[in-house]
Amino acid sequence: MSIRGEAAVVGFHELPTQKDYAGRSALGLMAEASHGAIRDAGLRKEDIDGLIAPEGINSITVAEYMRIQPHWTTSVTAHGASGATSVATASAVVAAGMAKYVLCVFGESRPRGSSRLRGENTARSPGPPTRASEWELPYGPVIAANGGYGLIKQRYMYRYGTTQEQFAKCAVDERFNAAANPNAVWYQQPVTMDDVLNSRYTNDPLHLLESVMPCSGAAAVIVTTAERAKALPNPPVYVLGASGPATRHDVIWQEDDVTVTPVVLSAPAALQMAQYSPRDIQFAEFYDCYTILVMMTLEDAGICPKGEIGGFYESTDTTYKGEFPINTDGGQIGAGQPGLAGGFRHVVEGVRQVMGRGDQRQVEKHDLCLVNG
Amino acid sequence: MAEYDKPLPRPEIPDLTQPFWDAAKRHELVLPRCLRCNQYFWYPREICPDCLQTEWEWAPASGRGRLYSFTVVRQPLLPQFADDVPYAYALVQLDEGPRMVTNIVDCEIPDGLEVDMLVEATYDDVSDDYTLVKFRPA
């Protein structure tokens, strides 16, 4: 048994990603996005009987805030992959008959400058001892996830000879796409190769413009069975395959080979369920907290051979106008990372494009999209 | 000399890792090694992560390895490190197999750093109780 074609996304709504939403809470933004998605799907709140919320926010709290009665609910704890995982899980839940209409919702409301505050707070009141307090903090780690991705990129460049220009091209293409996305934090603000290469190192070899900016925002989608989807107004976006392997490390120094991602496991499994090959994929919406990650995961999904993604970007227009569009809404690098709604944006944009609602950045071929969380 | 104001190691389970810090104070490196499968592992934990047995020992290590990867810190998480930038936050692959978070010292940053270069342990006595294990070009 598989969920191939059993479930579909039938509605979505996304609030614009902004540097902050002053005076708004994550729950408030999530409720607004949910309302939009429910209406977009042609449903009423009372129809929603399944609810998936982000880790860190109990899904019951979300249900209470919106007065939804879930028949099935959970919060997903898969870090950046939570958004994609939520839709895969919702598909299985509706296919199994445990709920009829599942709302997947993610959101964040983040005060400006909170990364710096986090460092100061850690210094002032370090909290209970952890693995990090013994084996990492004494060596002065980098702020946010930049450290781990700097280590990955350094090793990857050494192993495969990928150039800084090739990484920069990835960021430039994503910012081009974001420039055409009114919901992107960098709307109408494209960058050049020189802009990326001359941006400061957050930590070598990572440039600032190859990295996500933490933002605020929210998005929601509705998942139901393929059968029920037929009666609803939007063209259904069928879930053809899904697979959820995760990393087996929590900290990067526990990974045997940092140049390989779990996508070597998830993509073949999802494609096999869908009965397609990587060559059939028309466009990709891939998790991109940093250029190095979207580039490694595209390789691991079979879009190009391992180690050759630098050359692929150099020779391929990956904008929404190009021969192989990637992160057509700008991805997180171009459109921003509103917490776990950041990873979720890849799902939302994939749905938007497949429905043919990409407006000025609509891709030409939009029947088959591969999403990675 | 100014007082050392950077975070000292704060063990989650002090009894478990005290032998490591005692050895570091003597300027020696020891690693957990499973008595069943003989694998060295890192970080220290209550079971061998390979065979899940609880019997393991602290075994002496060579202190030699290779620089698996590094990143040059410009913007530390903790403000106490601000005066040290740029410095190298690094992963060292020890000859015995495990990989540790550390700093590379006694070399030009970043020009003296190269992935896979040979490195050896050096000991930084940062307080009466704690000596940090760092690495330098071998």
pLDDT, residue A113, reads 66
In contact, A226 and A235? CB cutoff 8 Å: no
| pLDDT at B42 exceeding the cut of 60 | yes
Q: Which of chain B's residues have a Cβ under 8 Å away from the Cβ of A143? A: 75-77
pLDDT, residue A115, reads 63
**Does A165 map to a domain?**
no
Q: Which of chain B's residues have a Cβ under 8 Å away from the Cβ of A129? A: 10-12
**Taking CB atoms and an 8 Å limit, are A139 and B115 in contact across chains?**
no
**How many residue pairs from chains A and B have C-beta atoms closer than 8 A?**
130
CA A87/CA A236 separation, integer angstroms? 14
| pLDDT at B41 exceeding the cut of 60 | yes
**Does A192 map to a domain?**
no
**Does A94 map to a domain?**
yes
**Does A167 map to a domain?**
no
Nearest residue, CB atoms, A141 vs list B68, B86, B89? B89
pLDDT, residue A116, reads 62
The two structure tokens encoding residue A308: 């050759």
Paired with B88 in beta bridges are: B72, B104
Host domain of residue A358: 7-111+212-372
**Does A41 map to a domain?**
yes
Kindly report whether the global pTM for this prediction surpasses the value 0.80: yes
Q: Long-range contacts for A123-129 (Cβ within 8 Å, ≥24 apart)?
A: A123/B7, A123/B78, A123/B79, A123/B80, A126/B7, A126/B10, A128/B12, A129/B10, A129/B11, A129/B12
pLDDT, residue B20, reads 98
**Does A32 map to a domain?**
yes
How many domains does chain A divide into?
A: 1
Q: Which of chain B's residues have a Cβ under 8 Å away from the Cβ of A137? A: 7, 10, 77-78
Nearest residue, CB atoms, B43 vs list A131, A142, A252? A131
CA B98/CA A267 separation, integer angstroms? 29
CA neighbor of A294 nearest in space, from A253, A270, A328, A256: A328
- What confidence tens digit (pLDDT) does each residue in B21-37 have? 999 999 999 999 999 99
pLDDT, residue A263, reads 96
In contact, A223 and A11? CB cutoff 8 Å: no
What does pLDDT average to over chain B?
96
pLDDT, residue A251, reads 85
Where b means 16+ CB within 10 Å and e means fewer, A10-46 reads bbbbbbbbbebbeebebbebbbbbbebbbebbebeee
- Taking chain A (373 residues) in runs of 10, the rounded mean pLDDT of each run is 94 97 96 98 98 94 96 93 96 98 96 68 81 95 92 98 98 98 98 98 97 96 98 98 84 91 96 97 98 98 98 98 98 96 97 98 98 95
B91 touches chain A (CB under 8 A): yes
**Taking CB atoms and an 8 Å limit, are B74 and A203 in contact across chains?**
yes
SS3 A201: strand
SS3 A189: coil
* Cα Rg of chain A (Å, integer): 20
Q: What is the ipTM of this complex?
A: 0.96
Q: Which of A164, A208, A253 to mutate to test the interface with B (most CBs of B within 10 A)?
A: A253
Nearest CA in chain A to B109: A204
| pLDDT at B1 exceeding the cut of 60 | no
Other beta carbons less than 10 A from residue A335's beta carbon = 31
Q: Which of B4, B16, B101 to mutate to test the interface with A (most CBs of A within 10 A)?
A: B101
Strand bridging mode B30-34 / A201-204: unpaired
pLDDT, residue A248, reads 78
**Does A174 map to a domain?**
no
Helices and strands in chain A, H and E counts: 14, 10
Q: What is the CATH number of the domain that holds A22?
A: 3.40.47.10
- The Cα angle at residue A246 between residues A243 and A251, in degrees rounded to 5: 170
